[in-house]
Structure 1
Amino acid sequence: MNYYGAKELAASFRTVRKNTITIAEEIGEQHYGFRAAPETRSVGSTLIHIGLGPRLQEQVHGVERRVSLDGFDFPAFMGKLIAEEQKPRGKQEIVNMLRDDGERFAKWLESLSDDFLGERVAMPAGMTPASKSRFEMILGVKEHEMHHRAQLMLMERMIGIVPHLTREMQARMAAAQTSQARA
């Protein structure tokens, strides 16, 4: 029995993407070129990278419906993604991409069956584990976004912004302390 299926996967992805979009909106366009260190992605390029993140899993599971990654041309596919990442984009275009492509991906997630999510996909020869479920592979999109969103939250701090999730938590804690003091 599955307790976490396509609907839950879509809902959790939407939550993660909503928080990414909030960060993208809160950081001023003048800071989109900011890099935490040399040879790292800028704020803008990190957001573009996040926006393009679902495409590999969409290709593997949605377009090709692969049962094996043997023969998948990773260098060519990743080369196209890297070229797409390099295209100059303004803040509003990036925010729109995150919103529109994110919602399209979430709708696709909602359409998936439990049987489909449970199917195994063979990894290239020599990889461990030898196979993964489609669910695990697709869940990786959300994990990847959260990884890079943590980087963005650190960059927010470096440019003087307290991340919205921190502000929300601080407000909840202050309300709880006020409520406790009244009791």
Structure 2
Amino acid sequence: MKQLPKAICLILFCLLASPLSAQQNEFISDYLERLEQSRKYLLLVAETMPEEQYGFRATPESMSFAENFLHIGYALDWHSQSLLGGRESREWKTDLVYKVGEKSKAEMIAVVDETFDAAIALIQQFDPVQLTDHLDYFGLDRSKRQIFLLLSDHITHHRGQMLVSMRLNGLTPPRYVLFQ
């Protein structure tokens, strides 16, 4: 008879925890779908801009088209591999993977595409229970769920700057498709 209250508590816990777990798993699968769509659109934008315009800056203090593109790759790597995955961060000032340097358009596209591959692989293995874990994000307390959302916002922000660069060069960006 003493075991009955424990059994009832265990059953209630399982009943309440199951929907939460399902919601967290659904968040991850929804996020992966969105990230794949964002990747497709970003790579299409990168393909559409002529290589000779990759150095274009909307203003002298702005990042160039190429710098915005590789910065998206760097941030994708940092948010996924370091913040979500726990790997030590790359050093922005000294890292050469995400610096334009002498990279061709094709090389930059390959770098960003490979970074998406690695991020997606990590997120596919991400334990949804960790979504509520908290960490320091530039002095702010943020959950890992918020890190996912911040990453999406960051991609969109810099991709938007790339689209403006295209427009300022008289180019029509690829048609935006919902759910990116």
- Rg larger for: 2
Instruction: Give the count of matched residue pairs.
Output: 155
The ranges of structure 1 where at least 4 consecutive aligned residues each deviate by more than 4 angstroms after the TM superposition are: 81-84
* Alignment-mate amino acid for residue 53 of structure 2: H
- The answer to whether the 8 Å contact 1:117/1:135 transfers is yes
Aligned residue in 2 for 1:149: 159
Structure 2 unaligned residues grouped into runs of 5+: 1-19
TM-score, normalized by length of structure 1? 0.74
**Structure 1 residues 145 and 106, CA, compared in 2 at 3 Å: closer, same or farther?**
same
Q: Does 1:100 align with 2:114?
A: yes
Kindly indicate whether residue 48 of structure 2 is the aligned counterpart of residue 26 of structure 1: yes
CA distance in 2 between counterparts of 1:100 and 1:84 reads 12
**Which of residues 65, 68, 72 in structure 2 aligns to 1:46?**
68
Between stretches 36-45 and 84-93, larger displacement belongs to 84-93
Cα RMSD for the two superposed structures: 2.5
AA at the equivalent of 1:89: K
Same amino acid, percent of matched pairs = 19
Please tell me whether residue 62 in structure 1 is matched to residue 85 in structure 2.
yes
TM-score (norm 2): 0.75
* Pairing 1:1-183 to 2, within 5 Å after superposition: 1=20, 2=23, 4-57=26-79, 58-64=81-87, 77-81=91-95, 84-122=98-136, 127-128=139-140, 131-165=141-175
Distance 1:43 1:35 in 2: 7
CA distance in 2, matches of 1:103, 1:83: 15
Q: Which runs of 5+ in 1 are unaligned?
A: 65-71, 170-183
